[in-house]
Amino acid sequence: MSVTEISCRLLHEEELPWFLSLLMQINYHDALNLSYEPNLSHSWILGAWLEEILVGAVQMVPSIKPDTAVIVYTAVNAQMRGRGIGTLLHRERERFLRENGRTKVVSAVAPWNGPSLNCLLNKRGYIGTQYLRDCYLKGEDKLKVEKDLLVPHNLTPRKNSKVVEVHARNRFLSSSARAKLESLINMEGFQVTKLVRNGRSQNYSLRLEMG
């Protein structure tokens, strides 16, 4: 299968169970809660379709700021990962948001989620602007990331930068890594701008630069 065979369009109400099925594959907490019901009257769900099969989707909601949208969930079928579907969804959701008057995007990603961070920071030009502790469970943190859709992705490193090492296999960050990221981002004004691979290991570092 080639990504050129994938088409993207918004989901209809009757297709929501397929979206929930995708969320169950990646163990999102809200999807496992039977009370969670996506509401198309307050959000957009953009699906990636292989013929009539939903192989990926992203849910977006309007922010209270009229120019901003919040990415709630992004999911790709477990058997279809690594084929460019996630990248396609990122590109198409940004095009959709620009066409609908949204020029800024906000989301949250786990700081141990290397593949997502690599896509958002290194490929799509997002920056990490806030460290959020204990979002779902104690010790399970999130990194708030955002992007201005009108500003080109700047790959030039800034002069004042720091590096924090993250162990990718560990779902919960070490206390020292958590404290360092929280202090640098929330108190000192640094922003996460890049994920740097540490050789061939599963570990990586996050580069932070003064905002």
| Cα dihedral sign, 46-50-54-58 | negative
Collapsing DSSP states into helix, strand and coil, what is residue 77? coil
Q: pLDDT at position 112, please?
A: 84
CA distance 145 to 211: 13
**pLDDT confidence of residue 156:** 60
Q: What is this structure's pTM?
A: 0.84
pLDDT per position in the chain (211 positions), as tens?
677 789 999 999 999 988 888 887 765 554 444 445 667 778 999 999 998 899 999 999 999 999 999 998 888 988 888 888 988 999 999 999 999 999 999 999 988 888 889 889 998 899 999 999 887 666 678 999 999 999 876 656 666 788 888 765 556 677 888 899 999 999 999 999 999 887 766 778 899 998 7
**Which pLDDT score is estimated for 64?**
92
CA atoms in the 13 A half-sphere facing the CB of 50: 12
Q: What is the pLDDT of residue 68?
A: 96
* Residue carrying the six token digits 């590109």: 91
